A and B are shown apart, each in its own frame.
Chain A
Amino acid sequence: MARNDLQGSLDLLVLKSLAQMGEMHGYGIVLHIQRASDSLLSVEEGSLYPALHRMEQSGWISSAWALTETRRKAKYYKLTTAGRKQLEDAEASFEQLVKGVRAMLRYA
């Protein structure tokens, strides 16, 4: 059974961002999610890093230090194969969640 919770959706957002953009640092992910969702979603910055580290420990993403365009050192994350697989699962389970919630809302 997929995890239908908020943490799950943060994971999904991060994984999806990395899948769309390739390598990104944490701040970049925050900006990307904000931009891509037309500012509908804003990631709580404090929660992002623990999530990143947890996903890295789980082997879904990998990280490396690199320089930004402004020549600042930052930690870049990218998806691993396991991460892609995880993203598929997460997307599927999110679809389920959305369907389920929608069905609930339409019920009259």
Chain B
Amino acid sequence: MSLFNRLANLFRRDKLQREIEAELAAHLAMRSEDNRAAGMSLREAQLDARRRFGSLTAIGERIVAADAALALDRLGGDLRYALRQLRKSPGFTVTVVLTLALSIGATAAIFSAVEAVLLRPLPFENPDRLVVVWQSDPAHPGTGAFFNSYREFEVWKEHSRSFEKLTALTWAGKHAKTLFWHNKPIDVFTVPVSTDFFGMLGVTAQIGRTFAPSDLSNSCTLVLAYPFWQQKLGEPKDIVGQSLAYGNTQCQIIGVMPRSFAFYPMQTAAWSLITPQSEFVEKPWGTMTGAFGLLKPGVTRQAAVAELTALENTVLPEAPSELRIMRNWKPVVLDLQSNFTWLAGRSLRQGLWLLLGASGLILLMSTVNVSGLLLGRGIEREREMAVRAALGSGRRRLIAQALTESALLAFFGTSAGLVLAWSLIRWFRAINPIELPPGSAVTLDWRVLAFTTATGIFSAVAFGLYPAWRGSRIDLNSALKSSGHAHSPAASAQRVAKWMVVAQVALSMVLVTGASLFAESLWKFMSTELGYRTQHLFTARLNLPSSPLSDRYTDQASRERFASNLEAELTALPGIKSVALGSDFIPMDGEGLSIEGDAATSNGSDSAVAQYVSPRFFSTMQIPLLRGRVFDVGDREHTQPVVIVNQAFVNKYFPGKDPIGRAIKLAPAGDSTKPWMSIIGIAGDVKTTTIFRDMVYEESPSIYVPLAQSTPASLAFMLAGEENDLALASQIQQLLSHLDRSLLLSDIDGLHEEHISDLRQPRFRTVLFASFAGLALVLALVGLCGVLTQLIVRRRREIGVRMALGANRESILSSVLRQACVMTTAGVAIGAFCAVAEVRLIHSLLYEIRAWGVAEFACAAAALLIVALAAAWFPARRAASIDPMEALRSE
């Protein structure tokens, strides 16, 4: 009841106030009337009445306190008071809100990416039990490096007891097929899956349905991906039942997946069904697949690996000899979500955590910064606080009031930060700077909101508590008597403020060192000589339809005829300097290898990367020939098989020997289906990136085989042009359609651009880190400048005295600058110490950074010192221009 009354009074405060005044006035009036009656003069009567009463306002306040719900009302009052105070010093308010907004906004934005990629479960049923099975390379245990053969999958699926469901899905090999939609060719990236794939994920089609066992009897059934249906086919509503033609086969469309459904690989346009008639079932050893499974509840991944390995070992002896290399591989069972993250970017996980850490440092810095600013403001307002304390404000009230101010600042900062985060997220989604795993759209959802709010509250408490606590411990006497010199309690606050600057410099040191290490390693990585031409070089890929439409490209001779014809026609195009054909330039897997007369390699467990290239490959790519000769037109299908190897190959297999004239075979020595090929030349090494890690180059042993002796169905051509003219693409497409209307150019790219796009993640990381470092520098600058200014205000009198005693301006200037240098140097030293730990943390993301990056440390330290001196210059000038007379008089 009484609480209700008090609450109700909150809303009628004005009326209440008037009533209280009226009541007290009546009291006073009655008292003075009585006084008059007792014979006092009017003035005496009134004075006496007032005197008996004490301070009217104070009593009014006490009455209100008795009336209103105290805490709530006070909060309102504190808020109004704080707002008034903040409005009085807009510079301070804007600085604080901006500082908080930048750091909270950046942290929230990065957290939203962390949340989307690493924390939010995949949008499928039972995401915690979804796993993927790959084969791992003995050199990289635990990493999914290779696909499984379909045979292994079959055995697992039939006998394994670890899985509720085990399904196949693969993008091994070339799945960009040219299909015909109403007689028009379109490239369709088709991903074969087994029947229960969609069922395992618990997803259903938006239109039509997904695969069912009854579809196994059809030769080709397709489920479309939403973007393909929408963008390439034009969103036909009656899509179910229509078909895409593949040669003479009609691929029936049975459904379209919802827009929200995405799975690896990202460019999937359609899923096809693996049927008993498909090559998977017919050639189970030669076709490769990923195995995606749903573990039974309670089954661990280790248990599953053990079972799969045992099962696999029962069938591996059946493997054809050229696939013996698979015996070295071991199955690994990986959590689907983390594998998706790995597929999206080798260092995506580490990079995201690192960026979150960096933004956390920024948040910490800005908290310290704001705390310092509040402290400085507290020192300036010491007298006001002292007066209020003297007038009877309790310590708790003063703390509450100071904290209200902090909370208000944090509220504004967090709100502005959210707006910033929202725009950063929109920007991120618009420019799409890095690849993210499927199903991990970065959004500002409730988790991000909760995180941001928590961050805001944390920062308010962190930056507000110390200044508030300090502000409440004022020694009234000294604060009121002096306007402050070294003996006042403010001195201790200043020591803390100085340490805050040191902390900020240290944190910036960590960030600046990190940024410069990233930047330098990226620059080194990008400017590394790769061993081939990177400028004005384009590659394009082309699939020769190996099936139905015509039997044109089924045998080696026809493929070779087509290839040489194409090369001639392309060379004739204007603006093209040189053309070469080959298999895809940067191949992903190796083949078996044996060397004549070398027993160690004869069992086929070695492998090497073979590329099929036309004679002009080396001149077009500008890969130097170190010895011997390149291929020429004389190297044809029925002449002596020849091969060119690179220096790395020679170093590995012929150390200190002359390989020219020796023979190698891309199969175990006993395999008579493959010919011995004679080595005719040694080419320079080419640096390639690896699939296992970011920011590493490999110079792997490679073998070049003449295209004329072995033409693959998937061709790449390399064009050295005059300039970066991608209009070439349309010319080339015209030429292709002219040669064969079913041929589609799948993509054309500058090789350099392609190489750069591999660097999207490191680049994004570097840019963000650099922005953080820049922000850190600005914060440190603001912090240092603010603290120095306060110190000078406090030292005004001392400086006045010194100047009056003959100190010149230069010495004052240098004393301030020296102070800045001392704080900065301390910060740099502490920061360098932490940066050593940081280097350890990020070392795997760096390229060719050795010896702890001494140069980068020095650069970062120098940058910080320069910034610090620049920041100190203005307060120092101000100190030096103090007028001693005025400073002394103002005391």
Give the interface of A toward B (CB within 8 A): 25-27, 44-46, 49-51, 53-54, 57-59, 68, 70, 72-75
Chain A residues near B26 (CB, 8 Å)?
Answer: 25, 27, 72-75
Q: Is the CB of A27 within 8 A of B5?
A: no
Hey, which chain A residues are within 8 Å of B1, CB to CB?
Answer: 59
Main secondary structure of the interface of B (DSSP, over half): helix
Q: Is the CB–CB distance between A57 and B5 below 8 Å?
A: yes
- Among A51, A53, A70, A73, which residue has the most Cβ atoms of chain B within 10 A? A53
Once A26-B27, A59-B1, A68-B30 are accepted as A-B contacts, the answer to whether A46 and B59 lie under 8 Å apart by CB is: yes
In the bound complex, CA of A70 to CA of B32 (Å): 13
The B1-15 residues at the A interface (CB cut-off 8 A) are: 1-2, 5-6
Sampled A-B contacts (19; CB under 8 Å): A25-B27, A27-B30, A45-B31, A45-B53, A49-B24, A49-B27, A49-B59, A50-B65, A53-B66, A53-B67, A57-B2, A57-B66, A58-B2, A72-B30, A74-B23, A74-B27, A75-B19, A75-B22, A75-B26
Instruction: Give min CB distance, A11 to chain B, whole Å.
Output: 12
Find chain B residues with CB under 8 A from A45 CB. 27, 31, 52-54
A46 to B30 Cα, complex, angstroms: 15
A70 to nearest B CB, angstroms? 7
* A53→B2 contact, CB < 8 A: no
Distance (Å) between the CB of A83 and the closest chain B CB? 13
**Which of B6, B31, B55, B67 is the one whose CB lies under 8 Å from A27?**
B31
**Chain A min CB distance to B289 (Å):** 78
Which of B1, B5, B27, B33 gathers the greatest number of chain A CB atoms within 10 Å? B27
**In whole angstroms, what is the CA distance A99 to B22 when docked?**
41
Q: Chain B: how many interface residues by the 8 Å CB criterion? A: 26
A72 to B33, CA, bound (A): 11
Chain B residue numbers with a CB within 8 Å of A74 are 23, 26-27, 30
Q: B67 to A49, Cβ gap below 8 A?
A: no
In the assembly, what is the distance between CA of A78 and CA of B700, in Å? 101
Interface pair B53/A54, CB less than 8 Å apart: no
On whether the beta carbons of A50 and B2 are closer than 8 Å, the reply is no
Known: A49-B59, A59-B1. A75 touches B23 (CB 8 A): yes
B62 contacts A50, C-beta separation under 8 Å: yes
For chain B, residues 90 to 121, give those with C-beta under 8 angstroms from any C-beta of chain A: none
Q: How far is the CB of A54 from chain B (nearest CB, A)?
A: 4
Determine if B29 is an interface residue (Cβ-Cβ < 8 Å): yes
Shortest CB-to-CB span from B51 to chain A, Å, is 10
CB-defined contacts of A25 to chain B, threshold 8 Å: 26-27, 30
Contacting residues, chain A, for B66 (C-beta < 8 A) = 50-51, 53-54, 57
* Nearest-CB residue, chain B, relative to A43: B52
Q: B20 in the interface, Cβ–Cβ < 8 Å?
A: yes
CB nearest to A31 among chain B residues:
B34
B83 at the binding interface (Cβ < 8 Å): no
Min CB–CB distance A47 → chain B (angstroms)? 8
Q: How far is the CB of B684 from chain A (nearest CB, A)?
A: 93
Q: Name the interface residues of B47-98: CB closer than 8 Å to any CB of A.
A: 52-55, 58-59, 62-63, 65-67
Q: How far is the CB of A78 from chain B (nearest CB, A)?
A: 15
* CB–CB B30/A50 < 8 A: no
* Chain A residue contacts of B63, Cβ below 8 A: 49-50, 53
Q: Is the CB of B2 within 8 A of A59?
A: yes
Measured CA separation A51–B66 after assembly (Å): 8
Known interface pairs A53-B66, A70-B30, A74-B23; 12 further A-B residue pairs with C-beta atoms within 8 A, sorted by A's residue number:
A25-B30, A26-B27, A45-B31, A46-B54, A50-B65, A53-B20, A53-B67, A57-B6, A70-B33, A72-B29, A73-B22, A75-B23
Whether B27 contacts A27 by the Cβ 8 Å rule is: yes
B54, A26: Cβ atoms closer than 8 Å: no
* Nearest Cβ on chain A to B7's Cβ, whole angstroms: 11
User: Closest chain B residue to A51 by CB distance?
Assistant: B66
- Bound Cα distance A49, B65 (Å): 11
Q: Which residue of B lies closest to A46 (CB)?
A: B54
Query: Which residues of the partner chain A approach B55 to less than 8 Å between Cβ atoms?
Result: 46
Chain A residues near B31 (CB, 8 Å)?
A: 27, 45
Q: Which of B647-699 contact A (CB under 8 A)?
A: none
Give Cα distance in the complex from A49 to B26, angstroms: 12
Chain B positions within 8 Å of A27 at CB level: 26-27, 30-31
